[in-house]
Amino acid sequence: MANGIILPANAQTQSVSCLYESLRRTRPVTKADLKNYIKVFLGIDVPDRQICPEHSSPLDYLWYGFNCDFSNPKPANADCVVWANRGGGKTDLAAVATLLDCVFKPNCQVRILAGSEEQAGRMYRYLTDFLRLGFDKFLAEPVRKTGCRFANGSAVDVLTQSQASVRGQHIQKLRCDEVELFDPDVFNAAKFTTQSTDSIIAGMETISTMHKPYGLMQKIVSSAAKTGTPVLKWCIWETIEKCADRNCSQCPLWGDCAGRAKQAVGYLKIDDCITQMRRSSRAGWEAEMLCIKPNLENVVFDQFDTAIHVRPVEYDANLPLYRSLDFGFANPFVCLWIQIDSEGVVRMIDEYVRTRATIDVHAAELKTRIPGGESRVIATFCDPAGAGANDVTGTSAVRELRSLGINVRYRRSGIAEGIESIRRAIRDGAGKSRFIVSPKCARLIEALTCYHYPDTPTGDELPLKDGVYDHPIDALRYFFINIEHTARTGHRIY
């Protein structure tokens, strides 16, 4: 009916169709509008409820990426990290975000880069499936195998996992899917591809499950806190279906769920989640579905737990003080300050890590770190290789330190021997720990968490020397080896 006149059925249908298409072209202005838009036009009911503390909902991710270009004031950039569970809809939602960018942001250039060609193709297939739901009318030309163009000047292309593909791109939105599988050099090159325009804020979205504590995703999440990049994280409880009629006491998920699924509004089938839990290891379940911590199966110190071993610990003038060094120039020079209390607990109280500085610079820093100076230090242990003469200077790091008033000692040992000593301190055969690390020792904590064996066995069963995590661990090894063999510590006079 229009103005009191009853319209013919076909006219009513046309009116409804016009209204429907008008709404399709109407930009959502609130998070609730966005949820309804996606549900009506794409048939996806995006979970919008945060279940776990400090988590986000999947809808939070879509709203963050979509609204940043319309907010006032606009943010400096639209970068974000998405850390979510397997089956948590990361790739589907990234395809939704890409469609929204291209429809509502004219001249927005979007690129899809994934850890594999198959993964990138999957996100693009989701996008092309969405276009068939009535969005193909926004296109300027037929969909191509690796990209599509919109009538408003926006475009999407799929990039391959290579530097040649990434370099030379100048775009507004880059979506990196399953970055855990990326070549680090390609990822580093991708960081320089995004550029803002007058109307669109440049954004690089880093999307993945965190599989390994020493992997690329772990490094990205760690650096996000330093740069202020938002980390939008969700797990099984933000994406599982609502539990309505199950007996919690008999449910295999209860130990992790504790009633969370009663509040859920997701889509993962509970029975499927139970099956996956029974198929997987506990470490795999925690990494892939609970997003608690990455899989520790290849980590050297898998018993190290920041919740147990990291807590404030200060220098105690009544306890003996030791230092332990690992030499380096391009690689880091590391010094650890360590005390042992009356119960045999090893207390890591401070660290010094620096690259591209000479021994005299390091020595000056070492002497000023502890009240009372050198007189407080019982012994300084170091890498035996530091006693070797430098081909250029003709002297050695050990000799230089001794000439500067730091009397270093060393003992030769195997890597495996030192690792086992550290493990015993972290947790002995009786399950007891005698190891505490101050939060000041950030690099050491990271190394204890991430030091790992090679993904491909080498035959010697030794951890990977990656130039990052091995140096703080080496300094720690020298302490344990020397403190346990004090009477036999090598000590040469030059």
229: exposed, middle or buried (Cβ count in 10 Å: 0-12, 13-18, 19+) = middle
pLDDT at 225: 85
Residue appearing with tokens 């909902």: 57
Q: What is the CATH number of domain 12-237?
A: 3.40.50.300
- In CATH terms, 306-488 corresponds, of 3.30.420.280, 3.40.50.12280, 1.10.600.10, 3.30.1340.30, to 3.30.420.280
How confident is the model over 109-167, as pLDDT tens digits? 999 999 888 888 999 999 999 999 999 999 999 999 999 999 999 999 999 999 989 98
pLDDT at 300: 94
pLDDT at 44: 97
Q: 150 with 102: CB under 8 angstroms? A: yes
Q: What is the pTM of this model?
A: 0.79
Lookup: tokens for 369: 């770190």
Spell out a b/e string for 376-396, using b for 16 or more CB atoms within 10 Å of the CB, else e.
ebebbbbbbebbeeeeeeeeb
Lookup: tokens for 426: 């972290």
Q: How far apart are CA 261 and CA 252, in angstroms?
A: 13
pLDDT at 12: 64
Q: Which long-range contacts (CB under 8 A, 24 or more apart) does 72-75 make?
A: 74/201, 75/201
Domain boundaries along the sequence of the chain? 12-237, 306-488
Q: What is the mean pLDDT of each run of 10 residues along the chain (494 residues)?
A: 53 80 96 98 97 97 97 94 96 98 98 90 96 97 96 96 89 96 93 96 96 88 91 98 94 96 97 95 91 86 94 95 95 96 96 96 91 88 89 80 94 93 94 96 94 81 91 97 67 34
How confident is the model over 64-113, as pLDDT tens digits? 999 999 999 999 999 999 999 999 999 999 999 999 999 999 999 999 99
